[in-house]
Chains A and B, each alone.
Chain A
Amino acid sequence: MIGAVLRRLGQTVLVLFGISVLVFLVFFATPGADPTARIAGRNASPETVAAIRHQYGFDRPLPIQYLHLMDRLFITRDLASYVDHGEKVVPEVARAAPVTLSLVGGAAVIWVTVSILIGTIAAAARGSVLDRALMMAGLVGISIPVFWLGEVANLITQSRFHTSWMFSWVPPLGYVPLQDGLWAWASHLIIPWCTLAVLFIGLYGRVLRADLVAASGEDFMRTARAKGLSETRVMLFHGLRTSLITFVSLFGLDFAQLVGGGALLTEVVFGLGGVGRLTYQGLVNLDLPLIMATVMYSAVFVVVANAVVDLFYLLLDPRVRDGR
């Protein structure tokens, strides 16, 4: 057990090292990416540019710059943005994480609940018009780009019908912390939650239906039926549980990449200052400290989520647990 944990830790460190080196090298290999003149400001004299280059250590060899950056990111944690010079990126990511977690957590509750409902109903009504309609709706959900859906939602709720009875309750875009009140927090997030969930409802509903249909012909399902269990009980207690294995592994990866910053487009469209928006800011401004911090954060989440998914396998599938 300890060996497995250590192995996992070693893999995590290697992955983080590889990603950080890659981000660093890609940044400095990009033509025009040298941040010196951008930090020095418009029309800075050659003397000022040279002083800034020295001050920020850009005149040192790349391996030394890399080590210095990693030291300030992981050890001293005082690495500051090249654009907003007072913005320390590590605390900034820590402040942004609850925003992303609020967005992704709420959306996940919606998409898990609705997709299980849709997938199960469609599988139960396999071949019927209802099945086809639900699967068609799922496909439409998968096909709609989230940034477009978000902008359309904003157009309807913030602009065209903002004063109508339907949407007059919708508050201005942005994030309000949970400490400021449950309704204030939730009302700012309801539209973003639904927008982000649409794609995943479609995807997960279709995956679950396919797994349920495949499982219905398995031996253990036949055995359950032979024991005289009702079709509903067979479907919910036997079929659904094993069919959730793919669902859970997908969920683990999707949830992790969203919490790690993958909800970037949703956050930008709805003005939510989460990790995704920080990543966006970092990329738009080619701000290496911010890019590095958000990428490292995201990588940690994905690696940890993989480990958690492995644990869930054990709980869900007795065959894995028993080493069969």
Chain B
Amino acid sequence: MNNILEATRINKIVELGKNNELHILKDVNLEIKEGEFVAVMGPSGSGKSTLLYNVSGMDRISSGDVLFKGNEIGKLKEENLAKIRLNNMGFIFQNINLLKNLSLIDNVMFPALVSKDADKNKVYKRAKKLLEMTGIAALENNNINQASGGQLQRVAICRALINDPDILFGDEPTGALDSKSATEIMSLLTEINKKGTTVMLVTHDAKVAAKTERVLFMVDGKIVASKKMNKFDAKVDNIKEREESIMKWIVESTDTYSNKGEEKMAK
């Protein structure tokens, strides 16, 4: 399978003030294959969200290369990068980020209608189908203050999928939801991935990571460990076991990283 996303030695440095820099990503390398379902985990401040925003072109990297489907996105002009985000990428955020003045279905349709040659009828049918798939078709004309957090996150997923993207990025998509809604959203994402869309998630929740097929563990701006699993199948796999195995792996990886640090310090 081909790599859809490839990052080589990327760095992100943020200037906080005079003579005060924060080095968030440090020479990070990453490869994601087409159709893969990847989770990035790590403690707060480890740089996992920054990695997601930088490899998706939402933020500009300070150095290194990011290839998306073979195109170097770090060097693309803003206009071309926007085009890639519109047609090939979808995003879901922890704080949902819907447009306030649009109804639920208009929020879903908006990215598709922005294209010059958009066929309104086709866009509407597709939006309606996505809302049906996520189980909120009845709310299509509601304002955003007339839906729950879980329902709004479903709308955000529909919006991310409206232009049929190659990859879906999620920054803690279940972080602000209750456990029932979180489970439903993850089931939805698993379904979407099964249909061929690559998914890259940032999460601090092992239960969420347990439904992916590869988990990357970040500490101090670096990917320090990677765990490969089979694609999750609810009929065959035991989610509890997968979750526990990830937890155990995280503890081991953290220890290994700490020991290495101490050795380095001793040297």
Whether chain B is bound by chain A comes out as: no
**A residues touching B (Cβ–Cβ < 8 Å)?**
none
Give chain B's interface residues, CB within 8 Å of chain A. Answer: none
